[in-house]
Chains A and B, each alone.
Chain A
């Protein structure tokens, strides 16, 4: 039913596949995510959705409108909230206070994982845009990690919009699509996906059913 859940990136490791092949996996601790609110098309909300939470925070850090929300649901204040559209049948099957966990995912399934990449601060063009370093020989001097020319001369007499330059890099929301779920441990709430996931260990991630899927089996 639930096609997405909050989780935390635990870290990467390696396991052995069924044929003894080595599989690099990222371990995610998924859930528990309580349903904080259910919206239905019949009510004044006008559409079917559930609001799910993850992690707790102190009541004093919650603003008044949200305090009301959590009080009504009878749930501890949640640090992260996200609304998810669900079908009309599914919205009948859920109620406020239900806990969603890693059992929403099965091994062999494709998922998308959304995370916040590691912040890298103000970064030069070599790291930020994968530009090449200038030549170190053949008369080059005083430029080491420059990106080269910014454009032409009096025509057009300006730098084109979108020119790749140095600037803030990282700390951005990034999705990794179609990761293969290789292992699920419902008891411990662990989901292991093949490959890497954006963000630092311990970071909050959102894991959901793959939206696009893959065209041909890998």
Chain B
């Protein structure tokens, strides 16, 4: 067996296929498992996907939201078991794969125009 197949044997069981497909500009709601000491709770994090990076088991995505007037960005590992559930709320019209320009915009300007296609709906 070649190297890639051997690596796949290790990492493929960690891939998950139950998440909806989504892309940059989509507004997503991520139900994350948060472990605080002994306790465990579910936190729902909703925001705009700034980028998706990596492939396979190393893939991550960044979600940006405005929390109490402060921009917050969180990076999730796409295949992480800490993501319990994920929903695509809406899709925004974007022309590039990485919409970092959102960071410099505020208020209405930071809103993306919605498009009808909702992936995985």
Contacting residues, chain A, for B93 (C-beta < 8 A):
none
In Å, the complex CA distance between A76 and B82 comes to: 49
Chain A nearest Cβ from B84, distance in angstroms: 10
Q: Which chain B positions have C-beta within 8 A of A124? A: none
Per-position binary interface string of chain A over residues 173-191, scored 1 when its CB falls under 8 Å from any chain B CB and 0 otherwise: 0000000000101001010
Q: Are A192 and B3 in contact (CB under 8 A)?
A: no
- Nearest-Cβ distance from residue B19 to partner chain A, whole angstroms: 14
Pick out which of these stretches binds chain B: A18-26, A115-123, A130-138, A145-153.
Answer: A18-26
**A14 located at the interface, meaning its Cβ lies under 8 Å from any Cβ of chain B in the complex:** yes
Our pick among A15, A19, A202 for the contact of B35 (Cβ within 8 Å) is A19
Q: Is A67 engaged at the interface, CB distance under 8 Å to the other chain?
A: no
A10 and B58 within 8 A (CB) = no
| Binary flags per residue of B45-65, CB closer than 8 Å to A gives 1, else 0 | 000000000000110000000
Judge if B14 is at the interface, Cβ distance under 8 Å. Answer: yes
Give the B interface residue count (CB, 8 A): 17
Q: Is the CB of A190 within 8 A of B10?
A: yes
Q: Would you call B80 and A188 a contact (CB within 8 A)?
A: no
B11's contact among A13, A19, A188, by CB below 8 Å, is which? A13
Instruction: Evaluate contact between A16 and B81: CB separation under 8 angstroms.
Output: yes
Tell me the minimal C-beta distance from B120 to chain A in angstroms.
22
The verdict on B77 contacting chain A, using a C-beta distance below 8 Å, is: yes
Which residue of chain A has the shortest Cβ distance to B13 in the bound complex?
A15
Chain A residue with the shortest CB-CB distance to B60 = A22
> Once bound together, how far apart are the Cα atoms of A11 and B11, in whole Å?
12
Are A188 and B57 closer than 8 Å at their CB atoms? no
For residue A208, CB closer than 8 A to chain B, the reply is: no
Q: Are A185 and B79 in contact (CB under 8 A)?
A: no
Within the assembled complex, what's the spacing in Å between the Cα atoms of A201 and B4? 11
Interface size on A, residues (CB 8 A): 19
Q: Is there contact, CB below 8 Å, between B6 and A14? A: no
Q: Does A78 contact B (CB under 8 A)?
A: no
Q: Are B57 and A202 in contact (CB under 8 A)?
A: no
- Cβ B10 vs Cβ A20 within 8 A: no
**Chain A residues, Cβ within 8 Å of B9:** 185, 188, 190
Q: Are B11 and A15 in contact (CB under 8 A)?
A: yes
Q: Does B7 contact A (CB under 8 A)?
A: yes
Q: A12 CA to B57 CA in the complex, in Å?
A: 12
Query: From residue A201, how far is it (CB to closest CB) to chain B in Å?
Result: 6
- The CA-CA distance from A10 to B1 in the complex, in Å, is 11
A204 within 8 A of B: no
Bound state CA distance, A202 and B7, in angstroms? 12
Can you offer 28 A-B residue contacts whose CB atoms are under 8 A?
A10-B6, A10-B7, A11-B3, A11-B7, A13-B7, A13-B10, A13-B58, A14-B11, A14-B58, A15-B10, A16-B14, A16-B57, A16-B80, A16-B81, A20-B33, A20-B80, A20-B82, A22-B77, A22-B80, A25-B10, A27-B7, A183-B10, A185-B10, A188-B6, A190-B6, A190-B9, A192-B10, A202-B3
Known: A14-B57, A16-B81, A20-B80. 10 other contacts (CB 8 A): A11-B6, A11-B7, A14-B11, A16-B79, A20-B33, A22-B77, A27-B7, A183-B10, A188-B6, A190-B6
